[in-house]
Amino acid sequence: MLSNIQTSQIREFPIAIYQKTTRYNKSQGDKFATDIVPGVYIYSFPSLSAPELSRTFRATILPITENLQKVNNQNKGFEFKQVNNDRLTKKGFVEFSTNKRNVIRWVGFNVGEVNVSTDRLFVSLRALENTRNPNSEVRRFVPGTSIPQSVFPNFNSGQNPRILIPNLFNKSYSIPTILPSGTSAVLEIELDRGTQTGSGGSDFSTRRFQVPVTFVDRYSEYKEVRFQKGNKNTKLLGDADNDGYNNLTEWVLDSDANTKASFPINPIPVKVPSETIVTRSNDRFFSFFDFTRPEYFGFTIRKKQGTVPAVDYIIQRSRDRGVTWSTFGSDNNWEVTIVNPTQTANEVALNLPKSTEIRVEAVTRITPTLIFPFEFIPLLSQPPGTENDIYRVKITKMPK
């Protein structure tokens, strides 16, 4: 009901609300330009005080091209010109680096196409429903909630997490190296329009330009960033700092291959307490605690994902205080397994890659029975006779 409060008369007019959403793919630019015709659209409505008279409402569709194209011999629209190094993975993701800042460059949003007073430009990395598929749907909310979420920035204030680019005419942005290798996401440049288009109308449209990306840890980039110029011992199996660990091992196990005082820390068996995993959330304040990992005695090695070259992890043990080493596997005292631990709700929300771990647990070997149908039961203390054993992780390059 619409009422003219300046008169004693109250009149009722039915108002029809029409809403339609149409999606256009990259090859339908001409159809979009035909459907969305720029210009002034005039709508007429009966006057509240005199229904026999009409009142007009003007809505302006501003001209803005989507993909880059020539209009009157000028380039109009938006196009990514360079996304980091434009290197593609076999699955179709653009590589982002974990060692060097990732620079994105584009053309578009020129003077006359956007309004510096009212339009806003944002950048973010959005989550994918399927992190292995670059064409997967984008996920904009924490699973099972209405809380807006992005991979970068990952703050959760209840509002749309994205970074404002201060200058609308900027043509580049640099994404920092803050996400672990193996993380996949969608790079999104987002234009929010807020331009008044007439006496009673505004254009509040949003345009999103997207590229699927994945973070990769390349030794070639690690070498470029970490090693001092002039150091000739920077090959994968070299030892640049002469600390007894080759560069491959220090790179994968996250020590500084350029500093002798920095070297991989050998794993030490300890009692690991039980852990309750929050695997899903239903809103901002309450969560479901639906998985508990039991306590054990031992250690865990988490494998790094997304490395180039690909690597293999080998657990080794020395029983003579480091004089000799041998490959370590399950025996009467230990169970060595490859596990994929349950992801937390936060890891799922941030699109972090599912991890793979080598877990070493102390056990007591038994003869299987109906009560204990397994070959072992967990032991929550150091197995007898292993107190002086030491362990290390050997990294090897996997064959292509």
pLDDT, one tens digit per residue, over 209-223 is 999 999 999 999 999
Q: Are residues 208 and 292 in the same domain?
A: no
307 token code pair? 């490395």
Domain annotation covers residue 224 = no
Least confident among 179-188, 224-233, 264-273 = 224-233
Q: Identify the CA nearest to 64 among candidates 232, 200, 197.
A: 197
CB 353 within 8 A of CB 182: yes
CB 352 within 8 A of CB 180: yes
Domain annotation covers residue 340 = yes
Q: Are residues 30 and 82 in the same domain?
A: no
In terms of Cβ atoms closer than 10 Å to its own Cβ (0-12, 13-18, 19+), residue 377 is exposed
> What CATH number should be reported for the domain holding residue 120?
2.60.40
Residue 117 has pLDDT above 90, yes or no: no
pLDDT of 45 reads 76
Q: Where are the alpha helices (DSSP H) in 212-246?
A: 219-226
Domain annotation covers residue 245 = no
pLDDT of 185 reads 93
Q: Mean pLDDT in the chain?
A: 83
- pLDDT tens per residue, range 37-71: 677 777 777 777 777 787 777 777 766 666 666 66
Q: Are residues 75 and 206 in the same domain?
A: yes
CB 381 within 8 A of CB 255: no
Domain annotation covers residue 253 = no
Q: Are residues 47 and 100 in the same domain?
A: no
Confidence band, pLDDT 50/70/90 cuts, at residue 2: very low
Domain annotation covers residue 250 = no
Domain annotation covers residue 114 = yes
- What's the total number of domains in the chain? 3
Is the model more confident about 15 or about 195? 195
Q: Are residues 56 and 75 in the same domain?
A: no
Q: Where are the alpha helices (DSSP H) in 166-277?
A: 219-226, 247-252
Decide which of 12, 41, 61 is a domain's last residue: 61
CB neighbours of 265 closer than 8 A, spacing ≥ 6? 255
- pLDDT tens per residue, range 7-43: 555 555 555 555 566 677 767 767 766 776 677 777 7
Q: Are residues 82 and 207 in the same domain?
A: yes
What sign results for the dihedral spanned by CA atoms 247, 251, 254, 258?
Answer: positive
CB 181 within 8 A of CB 213: no
Q: Are residues 101 and 134 in the same domain?
A: yes
Q: How far apart are the first and last CA of the chain?
A: 71
Residue 339 identity (one-letter amino acid):
V
CB 114 within 8 A of CB 173: no
Residue 330 has pLDDT above 80, yes or no: yes
Q: Which residues of 125-138 are buried (b: 16+ CB within 10 A; e: fewer)?
A: bbbbeebeebeeee
Q: Are residues 22 and 8 in the same domain?
A: yes
d(CA 278, CA 14): 50
Query: H-helix or E-strand containing 345?
Result: helix 345-349
* Domain that residue 28 falls in: 1-61
Domain annotation covers residue 239 = no
Domain annotation covers residue 259 = no
Residue 207 has pLDDT above 60, yes or no: yes
Residue 331 has pLDDT above 90, yes or no: yes
